[in-house]
Every structure is written in C-alpha cells, then in structure tokens.
Structure 1
Amino acid sequence: MVDYTLTPDPTIESQYERGQAAGPPPSWPVLLRLLHLSPPFLWPMALAAVLGVATVVSNIGLMMTSAWLIAQAAIVDSIAALGLAVVAVRFFGVSRGVFRYLERLLSHDVTFRLLARFRVWFYERVLPLAPARLTAYRSGDLLARVVADVETLQEFYLRLVAPVLVALLTMAVMVLIFSLYALPVALAVLIFYLLAGFGLPWLVQRMARVPGAAVIAARSDLNTALIDGVQGLPDLLALGAADAHQAQLSALTDRLEDRQFDLVRADAVQSAGGLLLGGL
C-alpha cells in the first residue's frame, strides 16, 4: 500500500530527482532524430516556408509602396502618375492575406501529420519493450509520455522548423533589397537578423533547458499520482486516506505551476527580445 501521508513519496519524487540529476537531454541529438522522421513531409514543409516568406514580403511591400504613395501624392499634379503605386498597394494588401491563409493551412496540416507520425513511432518503439523493460516506469508516467509529452512535439514544426526557414529566406530577400539602396543599412539588417535568429534563440534555449526538463518531470509525477489515486480509490476511501492524497495532489500541482512559471520567464525573454530586435 502506498503511503498517502503528506510526507513526500519516494516513488513519486524519484522521477523529478532523476531528471534533476541526469539533467536535460542534449538538444541536437533530439532535433536530428525528429528531423529524421520528417522526410515524407519535406515538400509541404518547403512550400509552407515559401508561402511564409511571401507573406512577409507582401507585408514589407505593402508598407514600402504605401509610404511611397503617400509621399508622392503630396508632390505630383496628376493622380494618373500614381496608378501603378495604387495597384501595387491593392496587390500587396490582398496577397498578404491569401499567402497567410495558405501558409497557415499547409503548416497546420504538416504539423498534425508530423504529430501522428511521432505518436506511431513512439508506440512502435515502446511496444517491444513491454513488459520487461518498462517496469521502472509507472502507468501514469507512461500515459503522460504517450499523451502530453508527444503532444508537446506539435510545436516542433510551427515554433522551430518553420520560423527558421522563413527567417533565413526573408533575411536573404531583405538584405538583397536593402543592398541595392544602401550597403550599411543592409549590413545593419543582417546583424539584427542574426541576433534575432541565432543569438536570441541560443539565449532562450540556455534559459529554458533546465526548467523544461523540470516541467516534464513534475508533470510526470502529477500524472502518476493521479492515475494511482484513480486506481486505488477504493483503498483510499476504506483507509480514510483520500484527504491526504488530495493534499499530495495539490502539492504536486503547485510544484508543476512553479516549474512552468520558470519556463514562462524564458518565453517572456524571447517575446521581448524579438520585439526589441524587430523594432531596431
């Protein structure tokens, strides 16, 4: 019988302690493994990236042509001289919405297909290990890994692969455009793009690595305790330990919220840094 007192349960605490002792897994091997599962979707991913670049270019074109149109409208005598600029503003205004819709549609389709492939891959790797090599994991922990942890991978393409591809292609287009007018401006744009595309993600990855592993461990502990509570509910009620187990669940929930708050700090740095570098 599991001890449902308020004293920390060593079986539940062990997941978090092992995670803290081992540290977070290396990022590059995990990234390469995920990319290894993505070849069937390379063409849709590339097309979504091109549509993303087209959306950004349309936004930039809309701002440039509208600014030029406003400036020229104050000095020209005939509205006919502004006909091309008016058409360009309309084109960029409509095309950015179309490109954005198509990019979102395709990228989310790729995301769901990748998520399905990750689930199948995980299940195919876990099934041969049962039951001999899964005795170290409790049912709640396995459930969390199959559902919540794999669900987190839906951000793999939307938050990692797609932004990098779009940023690299957009950087090349912007540097080329600005270099036609002023090389120092093009170099400044290149520097800020590199800071936003490589420096800031490196900093955020360093900040989020340990809190991210702690969130996974804390969520696993909470799910394990929840499953144990559901499966052992008759025993808990018979022994009068339901209140103690509920208090333990509350403590585990508070710990998970604390770990998530640490992770939110890294997300806040990323958002603020992106806005700052984009504004500069």
Structure 2
Amino acid sequence: MNELRRLWQLFRPYRVWMLVGTLAAILTLLANVTLIAAAGWFLTAMAAAGAAGVAMNYFTPAALIRGSAMIRTAGRYGERLVNHEATFRLIASLRVWFYQHLEPLAPARLQQYHSGDLLSRIRADIDALDNLYVRVLVPVAVANVSIVLFTIFLLFYHPLLALSGLTFLVLAGVGLPIWSQARGLVPGRRIAEDEAALRTAVIDGVQGLAELTLYGAAERQAQHIDSLSRRLIADQTRLSSDHGLTQAAVGLCASLSLWVLLWIAIPLVDDGRLMPPQLAMLALFTLASFEAVAPLPQAFQMLGRTLAAAHRLFAIVDTEPAVAEPSTPSPRPERFDIEFADVRFSYPDTPRPAVSGIRLQVPQGTRAAVIGATGSGKSTLFNLLLRFWAPDSGSIRVGGHDILDFHGDDLRRHIAVVSQHTHLFDATIRENLLIANPDAPQAAIEAACRVAQIHDFIAELPEGYDTWVGETGVRLSGGQGRRIAVARALLKDAPILLLDEPTEGLDAATERDLMQALDTLMVGRTVLLITHRPAGLDWVDQVLVLDQGRELARGDVSVVPQAMQAALLPLRAEAETR
C-alpha cells in the first residue's frame, strides 16, 4: 500500500476541495435517507389519522420532506461540481508532475520504453488515478460516517434493530468489498499492462503500415492487436460480471436486513413500544441506508487497476537521471571553447567502450569535425557534450568549467543543434521555429528563414508561416525540414553549434544550398561537426578521426596527410556506395 501513501501526498494541495466534496456527498446521502424515511412515516401516519378520523399536524413532516428534497438536490449538484473540479485539477497537476519527472530522463533513461507505453502512462494510468478519490476515498468516507450515524439512530428504537442493521451494512460494506478487491486485483493489473501493450501495438501498426503492407505482415499485426484486444475485453468482462454480482449481493443484504428488521420490530409494535408509522419509517430507512455501501464493492474492485497504474507511474518517477544535477551549479561561462580531456564512456550493458581516451580542444569561434564510420562513437560525443550521459572517466569542459558542474538546462541554453533527424512537431511552421525563441518577433523569424533559404518557399504557401507541417514534418521534404532546423538554430543564437550529419540523405543541389545556409550560421560560433563523409571539410580548422571509439588521427588535414588519407579510405568507400 506504499502507492496509496505516496498518492495521498500528491493529493495534499487539493485536500480542501476533497473535504468539501466529501462533506457534500455525506450531506446528500443523509438528506436522501431522511427524505425516504420521513415520507414513509408521513404517509403511514396520514393514513392512520384518516382511518381514525383524527386531525394531525402535517406541516412539520411536509416541511422536513421538502427540505430534505431541496438539500438532496443542492447537495448532489454541489458534490458533483466540487468533486469534478477537484478531479480535473488533480489530473492536470498529476500530468504536469509526471512530465516534470519524465523530462530529465530523456533520452538516456527513456530508451528502454516504447513511446506508446509512455503515452499510456501519462494518459490512461493518470486517468485511472481519479478512481482513487471519486470512487474509493469519497465512498469509503461516506460509508463510514453513515454507518455510524445509522447505527446510533437505530439504537434510539431498540439495540437489536441497531445490531441487525449494522451486521448487514458491515457485510455489504466490508465483506463484499474485500471479496471484490481480491477478485479484481489481478485483472486490474493485467488491464493496465494490456492497455499499454495494445496502445503500443496500434501505434507500431499505424506508423509501420507501409512496411507491414510491403512485406505482407499487416494481417499478422492485426491478429496481434486482436489478441491483445480479446485479452483486455476478457478481463474487463470479468470485472463487469463481478460488479453485477456484488450489486445483486448488496440488494440481497438490503432485503435480508429488511426482513430481520420486520421480524424484530413487529413484536415491538404489538407490545406498543413502536408505533405503526415508525415501523414504516424504519423499514424504508433500512432500505435507503444501503445506498451508503452500494458503491464500495466496485470501489475496491477498481483499486487493483488504480494501484497498478500508480506502480507504473512511480516506476518512471523513481528512475534516477543518467546525469545528476549539481547542488551548486557553476555560473554562465564567460567563453565557449570546448575541451574533451581523456573521455571514456560505455553504454549500460555494453562491454566495449563507445569512446575511449578522446582528447580534443576546440577554441572559441573555431570549427572542428569528428569523422568516422557508423558506430565509431561520433554521436556519443554529442550526447556527452549535451549532458545526456556522463563520462565514465575524463572530463568535458566548456569555458574552462566541467559540464557536470552546470545545470543541464543552463548548458543546453548555449548550444544549438542541427541534425539529420530534425524533429518537427505537429504544429505550424511558426510554432516550430518559436521553440528556439518564444519571444522572437516576425521580422526575426523571416530574417532567420531568409538566411536558411526557406523563406521564399514558406511565403508561397497559402497559409505562409501558419502552415501546419503534420506529424514529424511529414508535409515537408527532408531538405526543407533541415533548413527550418537551421532557421531555428539561428533564432536561438547560441554560441555553440553542433552539426550532426546535417546533409545526410540530401541530393547534391540541396546539400549545396544547405551548406551555404550553414556557413552563415557558423560565423562567430564554436562549431563541432560529426560526419562519416570526408568531403567538404575544407572549412573546418581541425579534424578528429575515430575508429571504434578511439582516436585514429587528429589535427589539420595538411599536417597529418598520411594518417588522414589512410583513415579516410574506408570512409570514402562507404560514401561512394551511398
């Protein structure tokens, strides 16, 4: 039950809302029971008075009935209003809380999770947590208070009436929920897992539909989705069946309680210790009182799903980031030179180091290139410099400070990246550009796009900068997406520029245009380029050649011609085959 304690701490800011909502729910239930019981007494008393031909004061009971009805209506409205408001506020804050814990884990710790699984956690699992308040905590609180009050009320008439009522209320409000929870624990956990698996399978199927169709595997994927759906439906059906059974059992408890009450109370009427109107009132009171415990079996049945959702969320939240933030971060660097000092790093569960013994100094305002075949460790250097991972040994310095002494966001604020895998969000061109500088005016946006040689294309679009680019920029070509990335980097105006295979996959003409835009972008900045293509390196000041994570050659190409030429032979062969 550790998850329940932790969730209760997250609920702390909304406890006032929850308290008001719970009190409104209690008031509504009490008003409803009072209405039914008073109506039973009133109708019986009126009938008895009419049969006896005597007068009676019907104003007071009529006022009680009307007042109870009004309180019930107002209380129900207030309870729904407050509880829904509290739930919506809670769910919104939980999503923000989860995302705030999720962000520091990217990308290192999140590589083990599928995007569909993460989506299921931030959406379906958090949605499941509202069950804890609305369908568990509130009904339990209402039931506890009501059972105590109902028992005290029955004690005024006879101890046996109180004992019988309490017995059946406890049976329906404690025994059935315990049975329901035991039955629902395993299916609830499976539902949480199967919902995530189903969402993942559907996302994979939609995103890979072209490949599935090409290789004739679409039917197999559909069968896999169908299998997951059937398993999910089977568990949901089991829970629904159990819910129906427990509701019938609650009704049975109410009926048995009524019969026992009549068995005890009728002799009391015969003895004159109870009046006939009181008997009718107690009978209807007994039936109405089970409204307090009727939601409990389903509440405890859903507890398994809720706890499973909480466990999945806390599994992410409790994950330690790959790089811990410093307790006292270094201030903003005065200069922006880069130094790799004997850097060594291995990815988890990988025996061979990704990079080992790397040394490189890039003075401020100069340009360096890191080249090597696929898997040589080029991208690892970028990930280390961006502080996504921490070196196992050695250090990386910016402006003379170890980057581990900076807060991650502070460091990345001074770095712009243009890569072959530029991510464009499912938004407008303008919104994608403003990610780099939310306050950039339109004039600055257009100026950046002109330098990136993309403004004329955007201006010809019917909606201009308000054109929707689609998911991952699907409505744009690769070259257009890269130029938008260049414009975004210009808007950020960071002193350090990282270029990750910026021209990979582009034709010669597009590559030439993009390099012209990049040449403008690189002016006055510290630039680090990684590529596996040796062509076009005449604009860099130094080159580092990597082979299987180790330095093969370093320096000006003209200084180390033989070593460089030997290293580039396999790279040229790789480039010529592309």
TM category (shorter chain) comes to 0.7 to 0.9
Deviation at 1:79, TM superposition (A): 5.1
* 1:154 corresponding residue in structure 2: 130
* 1:70 corresponding residue in structure 2: 43
Q: Which amino acid aligns with 1:92?
A: S
Measure the CA separation in 2 of the matches of 1:79 and 1:232: 82
Q: Which amino acid aligns with 2:25?
A: G
Sequence identity (%): 35
- Does residue 29 of structure 2 align to residue 53 of structure 1? no
Structure 1: where are the runs of 5+ without partners? 1-27
* Bigger helix fraction: 1
Deviation at 1:73, TM superposition (A): 1.4
Measure the CA separation in 2 of the matches of 1:74 and 1:273: 34
Q: What aligned pairs does 1:141-220 form with structure 2 within 5 A after superposition?
A: 141-220=117-196
- Does residue 96 of structure 2 align to residue 120 of structure 1? yes
- Does residue 65 of structure 2 align to residue 89 of structure 1? yes
* 2:238 corresponding residue in structure 1: 262
Measure the CA separation in 1 of the matches of 2:245 and 2:110: 38
Q: What aligned pairs does 1:129-148 form with structure 2 within 5 A after superposition?
A: 129-148=105-124
Moved more, 151-160 or 194-203: 194-203
Would you say the 8 A contact 1:179–1:186 is kept in 2? Answer: yes
Deviation at 1:78, TM superposition (A): 5.5
Deviation at 1:201, TM superposition (A): 1.6
Q: Which amino acid aligns with 2:163?
A: L
Moved more, 255-264 or 163-172: 255-264
- Does residue 195 of structure 2 align to residue 222 of structure 1? no
| CA spacing shift, 1:233–1:89, aligned 2, 3 Å | same
- Does residue 20 of structure 2 align to residue 34 of structure 1? no
Partner of 2:112, secondary structure, is coil
* 1:16 corresponding residue in structure 2: none
Measure the CA separation in 1 of the matches of 2:198 and 2:80: 34
Q: Which amino acid aligns with 1:37?
A: L
Would you say the 8 A contact 1:66–1:89 is kept in 2? Answer: yes
* 2:576 corresponding residue in structure 1: none
| CA spacing shift, 1:118–1:278, aligned 2, 3 Å | farther
Partner of 1:81, secondary structure, is coil
Deviation at 1:198, TM superposition (A): 2.3
Partner of 2:58, secondary structure, is helix
Measure the CA separation in 1 of the matches of 2:134 and 2:253: 21
Deviation at 1:211, TM superposition (A): 0.8
Partner of 2:113, secondary structure, is coil
* Bigger strand fraction: 2
**How many residues of Structure 1 are paired with residues of Structure 2 in the alignment?**
253
| CA spacing shift, 1:64–1:152, aligned 2, 3 Å | same
Would you say the 8 A contact 1:218–1:259 is kept in 2? Answer: no
1:221-260 deviation line (CA, Å, top 9, x unaligned): 2111111112212212222322222222222222221222
| CA spacing shift, 1:39–1:127, aligned 2, 3 Å | same
Q: Which amino acid aligns with 2:36?
A: M
* 2:560 corresponding residue in structure 1: none
Would you say the 8 A contact 1:115–1:151 is kept in 2? Answer: yes
Deviation at 1:209, TM superposition (A): 0.7
Deviation at 1:213, TM superposition (A): 1.1
* 1:13 corresponding residue in structure 2: none
Would you say the 8 A contact 1:204–1:269 is kept in 2? Answer: no
Measure the CA separation in 2 of the matches of 1:195 and 1:131: 51
* 1:274 corresponding residue in structure 2: 250
Rg comparison, structure with higher value: 2
Measure the CA separation in 1 of the matches of 2:21 and 2:127: 21
Measure the CA separation in 2 of the matches of 1:187 and 1:67: 22
Measure the CA separation in 1 of the matches of 2:246 and 2:77: 25
Deviation at 1:35, TM superposition (A): 1.0
Measure the CA separation in 2 of the matches of 1:154 and 1:62: 31
Structure 2: where are the runs of 5+ without partners? 258-578
Q: Which amino acid aligns with 2:67?
A: F
CA-based RMSD of the aligned residues comes to 1.8
1:111-165 deviation line (CA, Å, top 9, x unaligned): 1112112212222222222222222221111111111121112212111010011
Q: Which amino acid aligns with 2:3?
A: V
* 1:14 corresponding residue in structure 2: none
